[in-house]
Structure 1
């Protein structure tokens, strides 16, 4: 349980500065010799939403070109089947439930990424990088408030962000904050605004010899969706309500990626920059809630969508480009996950891994040399509010285990954290095991639990051990007492 004494903004900043100083002392290599890193994260982009991943209608020429210049990952995963945990996992290299980011973070929710969590930005800033976050943050319930950490508390020198979605829609949003100051209404579409802010930051840096880490988090194609009319008009054959709007939304995001790639070219840093493109989870389900009528995302051949622990909820597009280090036009079926990004960047920059907390990711540097990734533990996912009471999955090689838990009643699907949920997690155990061979059964249609009893038993024990370890580490957040009565 967190202390009842709330951290002040000055205390949070002091703790962050002390950690950055510690990292800087350990770093001896020249910052100028290290690669730049550009991470582009989409919101609710499905595995099948890009032309280079098989969509037959949506036009994504810039991302298709990016894939042709690098490696297209066929077995790329997010750390979670929904937004806030996925972002925590990507930045920390840790299964998000370890850090207490159990679900999406509603405004004023007590969940936030604590100061003692080490992020990619904190590590790179301590090693002399310029760091910038633009777009969706969604790692606190008290956005731009001193009682919880903000992007600058986690290593970002410059930030231009929203708590969650662009509001009121992607068109002319009015809820961005730049370095702690609300910006007011902006003209244009969110992905273009976010990309332009990142490009402006890149071009205005004082010392261009310093490497940079730019984290671009698009709101697209999350609801509430809005798109340029000229792009909507590109899809005259889309006849379902909201379909053309969705297709145009993905195409508009693709345009923004094109702007970012052009900026790297203009700055002559293409060969010095690792570009990572991916999504935070699978596509939103059409009409799951009233504003989701424009959500026509595709999981491709996968089972499930957002909020599912099946492949459609966690397997996402993944593209890596780094000329000279990654073979152009290549493809990899090596299972990789966003939690792998932190250890990968640490190895590429010759920086030490953070100590004191368990990491779940593995370095992908062997993949750049067409070698298998070396893992000491299987890939692991946990989300208590997933569909059909299936909350845990692990993948080892071609095999995937899916598991539910023993609590009754089941948790409400998709809800943010509420009082009592963490207590239930900490006393729960796994059951309802399913087993799939993903190489032979990508759609997870054939449960092999009965025909592979030894494999099932071994993987179930792995899942139980990891689950108990992760849940034991996760904090139990303190909710404010309800007005007029004591909160249990």
Structure 2
């Protein structure tokens, strides 16, 4: 028997949609591994608010991103399309990149805005800056924006404070580019950014946005792609030294604390029970940072690879009174978030080839869902090699494998950058239910159903590849140092040129 509340029935009846459109809060962690959180078993992570979401929401065990690095993963999340279609490949966008998420791509914000939604983003954009801010969130459907337009290590950090009272950031980050800016809408308000007080600014931003929308009885979409726990980790006074896990743990705790403040504001404004909160991460942990990186738990390798540790992520859907708490093993992806939000809001889907499927059967019935397969692209997808791996049901086939710099330092030789590209014919085949660590290759000798499973996966792969049209590579357009954002219009792209004072948030 399907479990459907009165609130859900109201949402799914078209005549009631205008009055009952739900709010959406999308929480997106950075470089967070499958084994990093308290609820997933990490012994020293302190994540009380995410643990509460997991205990009282629906926890996904088989949830995937589309890329093991930042920019392409974020493009797929916001558009419901593989990054190969939008051109966000190979690798990631940089401060001076000429390209960015094409303006003809439709984001979640652009799907919701025509229905009267207020839209806001705070945190890491990383989908392009461009000439005169061409690719900023304000050009992609977001009414409000406070954040850093790319990864916060993309600027010199050796003299910046990452933890109070004056603990300098670990490492040097990128050199020879402008210091990292903080932006409000399309204006730089601080450069270099103040890491110690950054999340306080985000808390204030989120609180004001939610309260304003709630008072106006306007549905809203808040997207919080956090900089935590990407290198270099940072945290403010409220979190520093509080975890048992050192800098990574303190950074994770600050992210968790901001989530707690968002939940408290939703509750205080009376909109919590009409809000779907969804949490996941952009890709696996950067294992090369060792204890200052994340942890993929029992999964193989991490960031930069198409093994499970690179692309399988923790995920939670939380909606009190609507989504029944529990655990789902249904195959799901960030691709599925846009069509799900669109269905719940009563919004039409973009008139393009979508790769996502809506997840309402999973959310409300704990059912199997509509996703049949997941396709794994490397950081540098190409039509020559196409997908590296395919998951169907509980099985995953690797046609190509390769290690990555991001996943170095682990004892597993398959994770290192020196694990060069290897083609597998026949493909490696793993049963991820009994072997989530991808240790034991299934062969015809030890698995009688090998041929049946492999033929099915091969058919899915062939059909998917036939449907894929690679968009022009935005990252392939190259970089121009004059495009690097700087608060001083006369500056040249050198680390010491930009010294904006704090204008305010």
- Residue 335 of structure 1 and its aligned partner are, at CA, apart by 1.5
State which drifts further: 50-59 or 346-355: 346-355
Residue deviations 1:451-476 (CA, integer Å, cap 9, x gap): 41332233134224423533x33214
Counting only pairs closer than 5 Å after superposition, residues 246-261 of structure 1 correspond to structure 2 as 246-261=248-263
Please, which moves more after superposition, 227-236 or 36-45? Answer: 227-236
Q: 1:480 to 1:354 in 2, by over 3 A?
A: closer
Find 2:353's aligned residue among 358, 372, 382: 358
1:151 aligns with 2:137: yes
Q: Does 1:109 align with 2:104?
A: no
- CA distance in structure 2 between the aligned counterparts of 1:481 and 1:123, rounded to whole angstroms: 30
Gaps of at least 5 residues in structure 1 are: 1-26, 237-242, 287-291, 415-428, 484-488
Structure-to-structure mapping, 1:131-142, within 5 angstroms: 131-142=119-130
Distance 1:148 1:413 in 2: 31
- For the pair 1:123 / 2:111, whether they are aligned, the reply is yes
In structure 2, the gaps of 5 or more residues are 1-13, 165-178, 407-421, 482-505
CA contact (8 A) 2:72 2:83 kept: yes
Q: Contact between 1:161 and 1:176, CA under 8 Å: does it hold in 2?
A: yes
- 1:194, distance to aligned residue in structure 2 (A): 2.3
2:331 is aligned to: 335
Distance in 2 of aligned mates of 1:346 and 1:402:
33
Q: 1:279 to 1:166 in 2, by over 3 A?
A: same
Specify the SS of the correspondent of 1:152: helix
Q: Which runs of structure 2 are paired with 1:163-312 in the superposition (5 Å)?
A: 163-166=149-152, 168=157, 175-184=181-190, 185-186=193-194, 188-205=196-213, 208-228=216-236, 231-235=239-243, 244-286=246-288, 292=289, 295-312=292-309
Distance in 1 (CA, whole Å) between partners of 2:214 and 2:437 is 50
What residue is the counterpart of 1:48 in the other structure?
35
Question: Residue 465 of structure 2 corresponds to which residue in structure 1?
Answer: 467
Provide, for residues 222-257 of structure 1, a one-character-per-residue CA deviation record: whole Å limited to 9, x for no partner. Answer: 011123477453456xxxxxx511111111211111
Residues 295-353 of structure 1: CA deviation (Å, up to 9, x unaligned): 3311111111111111111111111111121113x111111111100111111112222
CA contact (8 A) 1:31 1:210 kept: no
- Contact in 1 for aligned 2:66/2:82 (Cα 8 Å): yes
Q: Which of 314, 330, 349 lines up with 2:345 in the alignment?
A: 349
> Is the 2:235–2:254 contact (alpha carbons within 8 Å) kept by the matching residues of 1?
yes
Distance 1:126-1:466 versus aligned 2 partners, 3 A rule: same
Contact 1:84/1:139 (CA < 8 Å) preserved in 2?
yes
Distance in 1, matches of 2:249 and 2:451, equals 44
Q: Which stretch has the larger CA shift, 109-118 or 188-197?
A: 188-197
Query: What is the number of residues matched between the two proteins?
Result: 422
TM-score by length of 2: 0.76
Show CA shifts across 1:165-185 (max 9, x none).
336465599611111111114
**Deviation per residue, 1:31-90 (Å, 9 max, x gap):** 431100000101011111111011111111111111122111111222221111111111
Q: Please tell me whether the aligned partners of residues 307 and 413 of structure 1 are also in contact (alpha carbons under 8 angstroms).
A: yes
Cα drift, residue 162 of structure 1: 1.2
1:479 to partner: Cα distance: 3.1
Q: Residues 431 and 109 of structure 1: is their aligned pair in 2 closer, same or farther, counting only changes over 3 Å? A: farther
Ranked by relative contact order (alpha carbons within 8 Å, sequence separation 6 or more), the top structure is 2
2 CA distance for matches of 1:53 and 1:412? 25
Counterpart of 2:477 in 1: which secondary structure? coil
Aligned-partner SS, 2:287: coil
* 1:413 positional shift: 6.0
- Tell me: CA distance 1:32–1:132, structure 2 relative to 1, closer, same or farther (3 Å): farther
Kept after mapping to 2: 8 A contact 1:89/1:95? yes
The question of whether the paired residues in 1 share the 8 Å contact of 2:96 and 2:480 is answered with no
Structure 1 residues 320 and 116, CA, compared in 2 at 3 Å: closer, same or farther?
Answer: same
For 2:478 and 2:305, the matched residues in 1 are separated by: 30
TM-score, scaled to structure 1: 0.79
**Structure-1 residue corresponding to 2:431:** 437
Contact 1:95–1:380 (CA<8 Å) still a contact in 2? Answer: no
Contact 2:107 2:141 in 1 (8 A): yes
| CA gap 1:271/1:379 in 2 versus in 1, 3 angstroms | same
Contact 2:119 2:222 in 1 (8 A): yes
